[in-house]
Amino acid sequence: MEATELLKKVRQIEIKTRGLSRNIFAGEYHSAFKGRGMAFSEVREYQIGDDIRSIDWNVTARYNHPYVKIFEEERELTVMLLIDVSGSREFGSFEKLKKNVITEISAILSFSAIQNNDKIGVIFFSDTIEKFIPPKKGKSHILRIIRELIDFHPQHSGTDITGAIRYLTNAIKKRCTAFVISDFMDDNKNLEMALSIANNKHDVVALKIYDEREKELPPIGMMKLKDAETGEYVWVDSSSRKTRKIYADWWIKHAARFDSMFKKCGVDYTAINTNQDYVKSLMNLFKKRALKQ
- Whether the model clears a pTM of 0.95, i.e. scores above it, the answer is no
Report d(CA 261, CA 188) in Å as an integer: 12
Query: What's the pLDDT tens digit per position in 219-265?
Result: 777 776 656 566 677 787 777 788 888 878 888 998 899 999 999 99
In whole numbers, what is the pLDDT of the chain averaged over residues? Answer: 83
CB of 192 closer than 8 Å to CB of 49: no
For CATH 3.40.50.410, list the domain ranges present in the chain: 3-32+76-292
Please provide the size of the chain in residues. Answer: 293
Whether domain 3-32+76-292 has CATH 3.40.50.410: yes
7-16, 158-167, 205-214: least confidently modelled range: 7-16
Closest CA relative to residue 83, chosen from 117, 131, 138: 131
pLDDT band at 24 (very low <50, low <70, confident <90, very high): low
CA 162 to chain centre: 15
The dihedral formed by the CA atoms of 126, 132, 137 and 141, expressed in degrees to the nearest 10 = -80
Closest CA relative to residue 105, chosen from 11, 204, 17, 203: 17
Report d(CA 18, CA 23) in Å as an integer: 8
